[in-house]
Structure formats: structure tokens, C-alpha cells
Chains A and B, each alone.
Chain A
Amino acid sequence: QSVLTQPPSASGTPGQRVTISCSGSSSNIGRNTVNWYQQVPGTAPKLLIYTNNQRPSGVPDRFSGSKSGTSASLAISGLQSEDEADYYCAAWDDSLNGYVFGTGTKVTVL
């Protein structure tokens, strides 16, 4: 079972801004950096945001990440149809001595 909690779904029309939350605890998000992954169904996850708010080369600046205390969030501005996917937050957990993922959020472009 996931120790990071995300809303199961989020949606918006093209051009809108969508925000996804990720709630953790002092042993994971509270002490370590947060990363975000995008997964189009049937394909492998892709790194979207690392170290809380950094974008890998090739990721559009429409995607941004932030962290505060034991929570983090991913924002998608200027939503596009190709952004329809599942999104997962993740962080190292010092108590579990393992890497934990969020429950996942399915983003739908209306």
C-alpha cells in the first residue's frame, strides 16, 4: 500500500491549469526530495520533475513542482490533450528504508 496520498483523479479543459497534491509524512516528504512521474497507460513511467521542482531536459515548462513541509504538488498549466496520463509522486522513506510512490492521479483533458 502507498504511503503517499494523491487524489484519484483531476481534470480540466485545454489551456486550463490543473494541480495535483501529494501528502506524505515526516519520514518521507518531510525529510527527502519529491519526484514526479508521468505514465501514459501501456507505457513505462517517465520522469517529469525531480528534486521537488527541477525539470529534466525535454519536459515542457508547463509542468512545475513544489514542496512544503510534508506535502508536495504538481501543476500543469496550459493543459494539453497529450497530458492525459497517470501521475505519481515519489520519495525516499527513511523509516521504511525504501522508495515510496503516491497512489496516483489520473488526469483527464475534457
Chain B
Amino acid sequence: EVQLVESGGGLVTPGGSLRLSCAASGFTFSSYSMKWVRQAPGKGLEWVSSISSSSKNIFYADSVKGRFTISRDNAKNSLYLQMNTLRVEDTAVYYCARVIGDYPDYWGQGTLVTVSS
């Protein structure tokens, strides 16, 4: 069974940093691209970043480019999102998702990031 478990969310002040992790199991992690998608409270889904299986291809939404860094460790079956210079508008539930082709098929349960003073 495919499982994705996010962790690392919490409360952080504006300008601060946070590192999210996503532990994958139930599939060959190294064979799949992965994405981070977020959802602000009461709002819709917003794609944040994508990384290919070998980390060769990485993409970011303009809203996070230069502040967030996606990475993965295939030996540890883990996906990461380093978030720096956080803003109030980055407050959201962050989901990691497995990718087939260009679309997410399985999603984790999400981890809440709150940016507030």
C-alpha cells in the first residue's frame, strides 16, 4: 500500500525557516517524481514544487522561487521541502504527492505550516 507521511509543520514567525519531510513507503520511491502542493485555509490547491526521480529536473512556483528548496534522498525514501524567508501567505497545509507522468496520484495527509507573529 502506498503511504506518504508528511512531518515538520508548525508555527513559525515571518522571516523564519522550516523543513518539511515526507516519508514514502509501499512503492519504489526512487522510480517516481514527486510534488509538493499546498492549500491555504479555506482556499484551493496550489502546486509548490516538483522534483524528478533522480533530482535532475526541479521546478518551483513563482510564489516560492528563491525561498523554497525541494530535495530528496532515495536511499531514505524521503522527500524534503526547505522553506526559508517564510511569509504570512505561506500559511497552508502542505501535501507531498507521488507523480505518475505529470500528475499526482497518491497524496499524503498533509502537515500544517502557520506563519504568524
| Inter-chain contacts of A101 with B (CB < 8 A) | 37, 44-47
The interface size of chain B toward A, counting residues with CB under 8 Å, comes to 23
Q: Among A43, A47, A103, which residue has its beta carbon within 8 angstroms of that of B105?
A: A47
| Inter-chain contacts of A33 with B (CB < 8 A) | 101-103
CA distance A98 to B37 in the complex (A): 11
Contact A56 B103 (CB under 8 A): no
| Inter-chain contacts of A96 with B (CB < 8 A) | 62
Check B59 for interface membership: any CB of A closer than 8 A: yes
CA distance A104 to B37 in the complex (A): 15
Contact A47 B47 (CB under 8 A): no
Check B50 for interface membership: any CB of A closer than 8 A: yes
Contact B104 A44 (CB under 8 A): no
- Known A-B contacts A35-B103, A44-B107; the reply to A104 vs B47 at CB < 8 A is no
- Known A-B contacts A32-B102, A45-B95; the reply to A104 vs B109 at CB < 8 A is no
Shortest Cβ distance from residue B2 to the other chain A in the assembled complex, whole angstroms: 11
B contacts with A: majority SS: strand
Contact A46 B102 (CB under 8 A): no
Residue on B nearest A47 in the bound complex, by CB: B105
Check B100 for interface membership: any CB of A closer than 8 A: yes
Check B61 for interface membership: any CB of A closer than 8 A: yes
Which of the four size classes fits the interface of chain A? 20 to 34
Contact B103 A104 (CB under 8 A): no
Contact B59 A98 (CB under 8 A): yes
Check A81 for interface membership: any CB of B closer than 8 A: no
Interface residues of B in 69-117 (CB under 8 A from A): 95, 100-110
Shortest Cβ distance from residue A86 to the other chain B in the assembled complex, whole angstroms: 8
- List 14 A-B pairs, Cβ < 8 Å: A2-B44, A33-B102, A33-B103, A45-B95, A46-B107, A47-B103, A47-B105, A50-B103, A90-B45, A98-B61, A99-B35, A101-B44, A101-B47, A103-B44
Interface residues of chain A, those whose CB is within 8 Å of chain B, are 2, 32-33, 35, 37, 39, 43-47, 50-51, 56, 88, 90, 92, 96-104
